[in-house]
Each structure stands twice: as structure tokens, then as C-alpha cells.
Amino acid sequence: MIDHSQEDTASFISLLEKRWLANHFVCVGLDPEYARLPAVLKEGHSIEEAFYIFGREIIAATHELVCAYKPNSAFYEAQGDAGMRALARIIAYCKKHYPTIPVILDAKRADIGNTNQGYVSAAFEHLQADAITVHPYLGREALAPFLQRRDKGIIVLVKTSNPGSGELQDLPVGPAGEPLYLVVARNVAQKWNSNGNCALVVGATYPSDIARVRAVVDDLPLLIPGIGAQGGDLAATVRAARNSRGSGMIINSSRGIIYASNGADFAEAAGKATAQLRSDIIFHRDK
């Protein structure tokens, strides 16, 4: 069996760090909904082709401005085989034309160890993603098949951006009564990250929680959803999330970029929206 953890390839973290050096902090969420695609794509194209062209053109229009792309697998799975073929083609296009930009598969996987082997193969061998989002609920032992892939990014859900996230994530834990999300963040940083390939998901809708996470995880990368349609405060998010080097942020926007226009100029509009978000991040980072 090939030991993929020893492959001499650029790791997810090293790819990110090079993008950050160029002041690229925007992650574009490639989350297509067929009903919201521009009419020009739906006319005369199959679902697979419409999804693929949509993703390809947005990547082509934004690649000089981003640190990563993040397709959420649910939007592709919803379209069955056609959607999954489109997802594979979009990732392949990005890897071929822009190999220095990492692709994060937002699949939120987790199960017992031998089942996770299947998820690992699907994400990293078949789809060729550079990173994947995972749930921490089953613990480090179960996530070992992910964590041992030192070349890949393992991005652990800690404090999610949805309104109901606090139901479990904010529960007080241990003698100090720390919220569960903070305990998870510390465990990932101090116990799970032995291969230096971990990152955390923290939502922009909770900037004070981002600050608490940053304080206990040092310079660990943070994937931050919730900017744009979900209403996250960009200035507060950047102030809370930047690490000691003024980087460490993967700030995701999906709908605010990919649906910036529903006309034939959708890709151009996505490029402009990405450029504006990048500029705003740098402005707040440097304040």
C-alpha cells in the first residue's frame, strides 16, 4: 500500500501560506443551486455542464485574488451523478490550471475509523481535494485516517456560523466550565495536530468566540464562513481571527460572490466582488 503521508508534494498548509504571503485571504465557496444559475447557463446545457461551466468561469475570474476554493459537496450530491461528475470536473480544472490554489471539500465527514477510510479515499484519491471539513464528535481516534494524511488539510468544526450552534457547542465543560467549542479547539491544537495539518472552522457570526479560539490555538489556520449572506461582521472577524503574522485566515464567501450577478456577466461580477472583499480584509487586517 502506498504511504500517502510521505509523498513529496506541496501540503495544504504550505499552499495556504504562499497565498497568504501574497495577501490572499478570500475563499470562494463554489455552491451552485440550479435554480439560481444564470439563464445563459441553463439554456442548452445539461445540469452537469451548467454546474461545470459556472464553477470553471468563476475560478477563471477570481484565481488571482483567492487563497482557496471551497465546494460544498451537498449542492453537487443533490443533483445525483450529474452533480458529482461536475464536482470532479471543477476540482480537476482548478488542479490543472491553478495548482497552487488549494481546494477544500466541504463535506463535514466523520464516522468510526474504518468507515472514514472510505471518506478519505473519496475526497483525496477520487476527487483530489487538498483538504476536507470534519466533525470532531467521534474524537481523535476515529479521525485518525484523516489526521494521518499530513499532506492534506483536516479542518475541524469548532464553532459554526448557524444561529443554533450554541445548543451543544456552547455547553460548559470540565471544572472551568469552558464552552465545548473551546475545549475542542484546544484539543485539536495541542493533541490532534501532530502532523501540522489541522485547521478549525469558526463562524464570522460569532467574532468574540473567534477571538477566544485564536487565543488558545496560536497560529493555527481558521476557516471562517458567515461573511456575506449570513451577515458576519468583517472588521470584527478580521481583528479576532488574524494570527501573530497577520494571516491564518481563510475567509469564505459563497452566495455574496457566486451570485453577484445572475446575468451573462456572472463571472466578471464574481471577480469584482472577490476583489472588493480582499481589499476590505487587507484594510481591516492592517488597522
Q: Which residues are catalytic?
A: 108
Sign of the C-alpha dihedral computed for residues 111, 254, 259 and 87 taken in this order: negative
Q: Indicate the residue type of 155.
A: I
Q: What contacts 277, CB < 8 A, 6 or more positions away? A: 26, 227, 234, 251, 253, 256, 257
In terms of phi and psi (left: phi > 0; alpha: psi -120 to 50; beta: otherwise), the region of 263 is beta
Q: How far is CA 76 from CA 41, 59, 61, 81, 189, in A?
A: 16, 17, 21, 9, 31
Cell numbers placing 7: 509523498
Q: What is the DSSP string of 221-261?
A: -EEE--SSTT---HHHHHHHH--TTS--EEEEESHHHHTS-
Alpha helices in 63-188 (DSSP H): 73-77, 80-97, 113-120, 139-142, 144-147, 166-169, 180-187
Alpha-carbon radius of gyration of the chain: 18
Q: Indicate the residue type of 95.
A: K
3-state secondary structure of 101: coil
- Beta-bridge mates of residue 109: 134
Count each helix (H run) and each strand (E run) in the chain, helices first.
14, 10
